[in-house]
Chains A and B, each alone.
Chain A
Amino acid sequence: MMQMIEKTKLQKNAGRVLSFIKNYLVLVSIVSLVMITIIVEPKFLTQPNLINIIRQFGPLAFFSLGMTFVIICGFIDLSIPGIISLVVIVTYSLIEPLGQYAAIAAGILVGIIAGYINSRLIISCGALTNAEALFITFGMSTVYGAIALIIAAGKTGHLSWIEKDTSAFSFIAQGGFGDFLSFSFLLFILCLVILYIFQSKTFLGNTIFLTGGNKTAARLSGINTFKSIQTVFIISGLMSAIGAVVLLSRITTASPVVGRNYDTNAILAVVVGGTRLTGGQGSVLRTVLGVLLITLMSNCLDLLGVSPFMQTMLRGLILVIVIWIDYRNQGGKQ
């Protein structure tokens, strides 16, 4: 009898630890990865490396914030690579005729319009299932990417403005207060705060969760689900455009294929953060954690001397594992 009681106690404790790890998987992984790296490679804690991490954090974080809402709404936006490339090329090519500020504004406008077009296509095709919307955005990514290639005539340009003192691009890339509080980092915090308020305090933000949770029930309860869908794709387009401008400022070259692979990385960051691919649940704050994990991971793996190919494989595996664990958790409940 005593043994049985002890056994159940042990099981309970083990269960608690397991459920803690499950619920805070991202935090646990970040902490353990950083610990290992600090022990193996003390270089991790040096200032240049930490600055480097914050820098790497940049563009992906913007893309992932936008992607979060699309995923909460029950969709996936694969058009991000196309939008990024298009925004970079449009901004770059308009610097000469219009000046840098107008060029940046035009680039961001292009992002918003691209997101709007995505949403209209998805709504008007009646493509309300995830798979159909997925392929519409996939197709549009190719279209946007091709427009970028046509405008750039396939060539990569070099951003010459970056050398001027009055360059907005060098301000975005390097300006700010000290090394840690760079302008792009502050811009990211601003976006995060606005989107967080939008997500948790506004009616429109709330309808995104309802639409993602159950489109039919939401519509029958008088929620304008089309408006939610439109909103998430516009946000995704906008965030892709802002991220693209930050990216252009940092790498100072305008390649028409620069956006490649950002879609999978953004999905990875969102899902690793704990936003459910099934829709209806998630948060931009979680995505920040997800982005942090991915950035820290690649930094740590770099320091540990793991090859980039191996890192790509690890990223893919992590995505699969997170989805698998999520599925297991769900299965347990049903």
Chain B
Amino acid sequence: MAETNSTPIISLKNISKTFPGVRALDDVTIKVMRGNVHGIVGENGAGKSTLMKILSGVYTKDSGTVEFDGEIVEQTTPIQSINRGLSIIYQEFNLVNSMSVGENIFLGRFKEMHGMKGIHAKARELLDSIGCKINTYTMVADLSVSQKQMVEIAKALSYNSKLIIMDEPSSSLTSDELKKLYEIIGYLKNKGISIIYISHKLNEIFDLCDMVTVMRDGHVIDTKPITEMTHEEMITKMVGRSIEKEYPERPRCVGETLLEVRNLNTRKLHDINFKVNRGEILGFVGLVGAGRTEIIRAIYGADKVKGHELFIEGQHKKIKNPIDAISAGIALIPEDRKLQGLILSQSVKTNIVMAIQKKHTKFGFLNKSSEKAIAEKQVASLLIKTPSIKTRVVSLSGGNQQKCVVGRWLETQSKILIMDEPTRGIDVGAKYEIYMLMKEIVEKGASIILISSELPEVLNMSNRVLAICEGRISGEFNPETTSVNAIMEKVLG
């Protein structure tokens, strides 16, 4: 560990920002010391992203002062901030998929680097400095999420950044990739670079950070050295109330076989055979890219796959597209809520009723009153926080958006609910509600296939776990009796 200086790299004083109708930041004061990893935690809507966008120059602050590296920064633009030494790595990366790693790192600076040769040489050097072995000539499109993140970090280094802000850096990393990220953050610290680490995952905050700031509703609730903070204290401060447990009690209502998949083979998947029982939560664990999502997309008919056989309640079913899947009683909550799950420009009502709309039509005409009743029922029973069912779903928080997707499928009375990363980017309180919902669903006799990159989530919720590695099922476990290490061994192959 490098010695931490006592002067702050960045110091925010009394920052406020108001959007029409919302006070996004209220009198926020945060100091980040040089060479520190400073965690910022808070539920969605706590103001973390707004704060970062003010720092990078995407938004302008209403009042308050920002002092970066000893200089007062009045107004800034994203490019000025980067040149000043402040880089932000967003959850959605700013990379050009069709260009190579080296080109991406030095995007827009080809001349200064004396052309391609210079770029790749310097990129190699930067990647080596963080212990990363990606070939600089690889296309970014061919990289995994974790590798893309490393490219972003190398890019930040290339600007001689003094402060790197990471926004939810671990949200789609597997635990192995996360270890790698920890290592890199260690390197950066050694170089004296400060890091602001924004995350929902409290364990990471405890593992990585020196200091932590808890935010809620646009206020800073507390800033403390991590050693003086406990897990419970942090959660209580984040949500403003105490949450007893992170997970509800595991449901126990496993019955006879409901779904059976035989001989699923594609270019990426090999000999996938498995069964799902009634009332069971079946967990899939595996690295990103191991084929978990491909398996469920094939079952659901989202990708064209031939040759496999599907039996639901013993009956052979042919599923060629999502429409077949839905009528066979399968529902999918896709991994990317915004791109695959929701129609953001449409209302809460439309998003809830879209899968059953057709059933309620008469001679092709919509039945608006029953649609309204269904949407209102789901909003009430799932406690979706929305001003009205006519509100556009884009303005809801992540947890409430996810509940709209869940509500859509509850209404179809599906027998098998596939949930791909159901709690990604959702805050602690809403996560618990989603877990409770899952419990309720299986207790009513449906089954759930749960895919998640958060191992604790799978292990705490599932009745049975399948490890997926390089397109094969590499192991089957009872999560209550198997150690995490044994499972990880199979996941890594």
Contacts and interface: CB of A to CB of B under 8 A. Distances in A.
Interface in B326-351: 326, 332, 334, 339-346, 350
Contact of A214 (B322, B332, B344): B344
Contact of A204 (B342, B345, B350, B364): B364
Nearest to A203: B361
B364 A203 contact: yes
Contacts of A278: 345
A202 B367 CA distance: 9
Interface in A188-222: 201-204, 206, 209-210, 213-214, 216-222
Contacts of B321: 219
A58 B346 CA distance: 32
A281 interface: yes
Interface residues of B, number: 29
Contact of A213 (B334, B343, B408): B343
A218 B489 CA distance: 38
State the main secondary structure of chain A at its contact with B: helix
Interface stretch (B81-89, B268-276, B352-360): B352-360
A201 B339 contact: no
Given A222-B326, A224-B323, A213 B346 contact: yes
Nearest to A226: B321
B389 to A, nearest CB: 15
Interface string B359-401: 0010011100000000000000000000000000010000000
A202 B366 contact: yes
A201 B371 CA distance: 12
A115 interface: no
B302 interface: yes
A206 B332 CA distance: 22
A8 to B, nearest CB: 10
A209 to B, nearest CB: 7
A219 B322 contact: yes
Given A202-B365, A222-B326, A280 B334 contact: no
Residue in A216, A220, A281 with the greatest tally of chain B CB atoms within 10 Å: A220
Given A201-B366, A202-B364, A202-B366, A214 B323 contact: no
B223 to A, nearest CB: 29
A34 interface: no
Contacts of B341: 217, 220
Contacts of A217: 334, 339-343
Nearest to B323: A222
A209 B364 CA distance: 16
A221 B354 contact: yes
A234 to B, nearest CB: 15
Contacts of A15: 20
Contacts of B408: 221
A159 interface: no
Contact of B340 (A203, A220, A281): A220
A223 interface: yes
B372 to A, nearest CB: 14
A73 to B, nearest CB: 13
Given A202-B364, A202-B366, A220 B302 contact: yes
A198 B262 CA distance: 43
B323 to A, nearest CB: 5
A221 B302 CA distance: 10
Contact of A216 (B326, B340, B366): B340
A82 B339 CA distance: 35
A306 to B, nearest CB: 37
5 A-B pairs with the lowest CB-CB distances in the bound complex, closest first: A213-B343, A222-B326, A214-B343, A280-B345, A203-B361
19 contacts: A202-B366, A203-B357, A209-B346, A209-B350, A213-B345, A214-B339, A214-B345, A217-B340, A217-B343, A218-B354, A219-B322, A221-B408, A222-B323, A222-B325, A222-B355, A276-B345, A278-B345, A280-B343, A281-B345
Interface of B: 20, 300, 302, 321-323, 325-326, 332, 334, 339-346, 350, 354-355, 357-358, 361, 364-366, 394, 408
Given A217-B339, A219-B322, 9 more contacts: A202-B364, A203-B365, A213-B344, A214-B344, A216-B340, A220-B340, A222-B323, A276-B345, A280-B345
